Amino acid sequence: MPNAIQPKPGIMQIKPYKGGESVLGGISKVYKLSSNENPLGPSPRAIAAFQAAAGSLERYPDGDHADLRAAIADVHGVDADRLICGDGSDEVISWLCYAYAGAGDEVLFTEHGFSMYRICALAAGATPVEVGETNRVVDVDKLLAATNDKTRLVFLANPANPTGTMVNAADLARLAAGLPPRAILVLDGAYAEFVPGFDAGLALVDARQNVVMTRTFSKIYGLGSLRVGWGYGPAAIIDVLNRMRGPFNVSTAGLAAATAAVRDVEYMAHCQAENIKWRDWLQAELAAIGIPSDPAFGNFILARFRDEAEANAADAALRAAGVITRLVKGYNLPNCLRITVGDEEGCRVLMAALTRFMEGSA
Ligand SMILES: *Cc1c(COP(=O)(O)O)cnc(C)c1O
């Protein structure tokens, strides 16, 4: 007899998210360049705030996230009342899907877009719609052409993951202005802090009623283990998301560390500068040994190999040298490796291993 207990349609179509690997059998020193983590770690002030939180573990966290929202509002010059904090920005992405998209509704993202968009759309019972890009760059015209009266959400990360490419502000404004009336544009700014002077779409959020921005403490702030992200949008949308939010969705330690991290503007700028320095070095070194990549705006490089077999072989050679990067077949990029920019040692070990590999395969 078939099992009568079944989930809602869509759930069994989800391919569970796979995080970057972190261990290699038999190798003690591993360089994990697979999850776009900050090799320098979080601000020392964030670590101190986390440790201080150990003194009050019996207490529920501040369900209003007042200190963190105030800190974000100060640093980014935004309205604290239109900020919402999540258990990672993934939680903000899933609220948007659950609140605005269900059976019969379409959720758009692009062919190399972040996998959580599809997962959250399916979990909400909506129909995921994958739209083509142009040479690994999100194409606003293709997105606009794919919209219709069923479109509820359009997700795009800027800079994008795993391509590392960006869409310019004028194109984003055109996309927001061209969406059907019931659709929301979600700008995922997980890597925004790696781009000096970039506002991540804040001005567009403020100018319109149909744009939401998401941000995270998992990347430049180096707090991936604590799971803190945030969203900023029109009051009406933030009100909807707050109704779905668990009252204590972010832990006291997470709130304290994130608050200290966002206020430590100097440390963030240091991490931004180090990333640019080593990203540029890595990109030039890769090009010199015949591995092309697009201009990279985040803290990772999408290295292109001749074909899938060569990408697999490069991955194996790196693992043998203790370096874990990320194969991105699941993102329709079978001939590529996504390489997180490590610290100096990580970058040099990676380049030495890849140089040996390319000499061997020439
Ligand atoms: C890493 C990443 C996130 C961040 O997720 P968190 O849940 O905040 O850790 C969101 N979007 C993209 C594109 C990412 O790469």
283 Cβ closer than 6 Å to some ligand 1 atom: no
Residue 247: cis peptide before it, omega within 30 degrees of 0? no
Is there a contact between 160 and 188 (Cβ–Cβ < 8 Å)? no
- Mean pLDDT per segment of 10 residues, for the chain of length 362 residues? 88 86 81 97 98 97 97 97 98 98 98 97 98 98 98 98 98 98 98 97 97 98 98 98 96 98 98 98 98 98 98 97 96 98 97 96 68
Mutate to test the pocket of ligand 1, among 96, 158, 194, 216 (most ligand atoms within 8 A of CB): 216
Taking each helix axis from N to C end, the angle separating 89-100 and 115-123, rounded to the nearest 10 degrees, works out to 40
CA geometry: angle 252, 258, 264, nearest 5 deg? 140
Closest CA to ligand 1's atom 12: 190
113 Cβ closer than 6 Å to some ligand 1 atom: no
pTM: 0.96
190 Cβ closer than 6 Å to some ligand 1 atom: yes
The predicted pLDDT at position 18 comes to 81
Closest CA to ligand 1's atom 1: 190
357 Cβ closer than 6 Å to some ligand 1 atom: no
CA of 90 from ligand 1 middle (Å) equals 6
Residue holding tokens 């990360």? 157
53 Cβ closer than 6 Å to some ligand 1 atom: no
* Pure H helices in 208-334: 235-244, 252-263, 265-288, 308-320
Mark 133-153 as b/e (b = at least 16 C-beta within 10 Å). beebbbbbeebbebbeebbbb
CA of 288 from ligand 1 middle (Å) equals 31
92: left (phi over 0), alpha (psi -120 to 50) or beta: alpha
Work out whether strand 229-232 and strand 211-216 pair parallel, antiparallel, or are unpaired.
antiparallel
322 Cβ closer than 6 Å to some ligand 1 atom: no
The fold adopted by the segment(s) 20-41+266-361 is Aspartate Aminotransferase, domain 1 (3.90.1150)
User: What share of the chain in percent tops pLDDT 70?
Assistant: 100
158 Cβ closer than 6 Å to some ligand 1 atom: no
Could you give the residue range(s) of every CATH 3.40.640.10 domain in the chain? Answer: 44-264
C-alpha closest to that of 13 among 152, 91, 112, 120: 120
Q: Which atom of ligand 1 is nearest to the CA of 188?
A: 11
The predicted pLDDT at position 362 comes to 59
Q: Which CATH number fits domain 44-264: 3.40.640.10, 3.40.50.300, 2.40.10.120, 3.40.50.1970?
A: 3.40.640.10
Closest CA to ligand 1's atom 11: 190
DSSP string, 175-236: HHHHS-TT-EEEEE-TTGGGSTT--TTHHHHHH-SSEEEEEESSSTT--GGG--EEEE--HH
161 Cβ closer than 6 Å to some ligand 1 atom: yes
CA of 298 from ligand 1 middle (Å) equals 12
231 Cβ closer than 6 Å to some ligand 1 atom: no
220 Cβ closer than 6 Å to some ligand 1 atom: no
Counted residue by residue, the chain has a size of 362
Is there a contact between 65 and 252 (Cβ–Cβ < 8 Å)? no
Residue 156: beta bridge partners?
A: 187
Q: Which atom of ligand 1 is nearest to the CA of 157?
A: 13
325 Cβ closer than 6 Å to some ligand 1 atom: no
CA geometry: angle 277, 279, 283, nearest 5 deg? 120
Is there a contact between 176 and 143 (Cβ–Cβ < 8 Å)? no
Sheet of strand 229-232, all strands in order from the earlier edge strand to the far edge: 83-86, 229-232, 211-216, 184-188, 151-157, 106-110, 127-131
89 Cβ closer than 6 Å to some ligand 1 atom: yes
- 283-335 pLDDT tens trace: 999 999 999 999 999 999 999 999 999 999 999 999 999 999 999 999 999 99
Q: Which atom of ligand 1 is nearest to the CA of 215?
A: 8
Distance CA 213, CA 5 (A): 37
Q: How far is CA 56 from the centre of its chain?
A: 31
Could you give the residue range(s) of every CATH 3.90.1150.10 domain in the chain? Answer: 20-41+266-361
The predicted pLDDT at position 359 comes to 93
136: left (phi over 0), alpha (psi -120 to 50) or beta: left
Distance CA 110, CA 134 (A): 10
Backbone phi, psi, residue 247, to 5°: -60, -30
218 Cβ closer than 6 Å to some ligand 1 atom: yes
Q: Which two three-digit tokens encode residue 111?
A: 């062919």
